Chain A
Amino acid sequence: SQKIEQNSEALNIQEGKTATLTCNYTNYSPAYLQWYRQDPGRGPVFLLLIRENEKEKRKERLKVTFDTTLKQSLFHITASQPADSATYLCALVREGKLIFGQGTELSVKP
């Protein structure tokens, strides 16, 4: 069955550093992969989508890479700020459904 895994441990970094979150998947080759941000008590918010033929996508301080050979996506936040603290979810699409990872909690300390 399809598995999608993210760093289960929380990631703690210092303000100004680059945060890197990992998403690994098995048993499937998705046409695209999405990243979402979720704050406590709120619904996920869409951040970025990257397609299988794209190696990298950027949006302001965010960068996503997609390596279909490694079956891995990396999500980077450069010049991180305390306001970036949240849980980040990756999701791949399979048969018209989004399958989510369990999320990685990021904490950026001032």
Chain B
Amino acid sequence: DVKVTQSSRYLVKRTGEKVFLECVQDMDHENMFWYRQDPGLGLRLIYFSYDVKMKEKGDIPEGYSVSREKKERFSLILESASTNQTSMYLCASSFRGIADTQYFGPGTRLTVL
């Protein structure tokens, strides 16, 4: 079974803090994705990576950056957290691309105070 794990289920941070969300997959997938999910807005793609050290912007990259130093790990970084970044963050991986079957982690609910 494919496993995608995220470093925290719940996280509370203060405005202005630097926040790291970590995601690890164990299936040697090429592609990894970060989404945020908000009520009424569905899942929105923040960034994705199709290879180590490669990244592409998704629909809403502003205020975020990512890092992929190893194939199995994809990090989402909030350089200076703001209250409007309070959300559920979901990581996913797939073998070929976004339209290939994506395997999701359990999500991290981030609250920025």
A and B form one complex: no
Interface residue ranges, B against A (CB under 8 Å): none
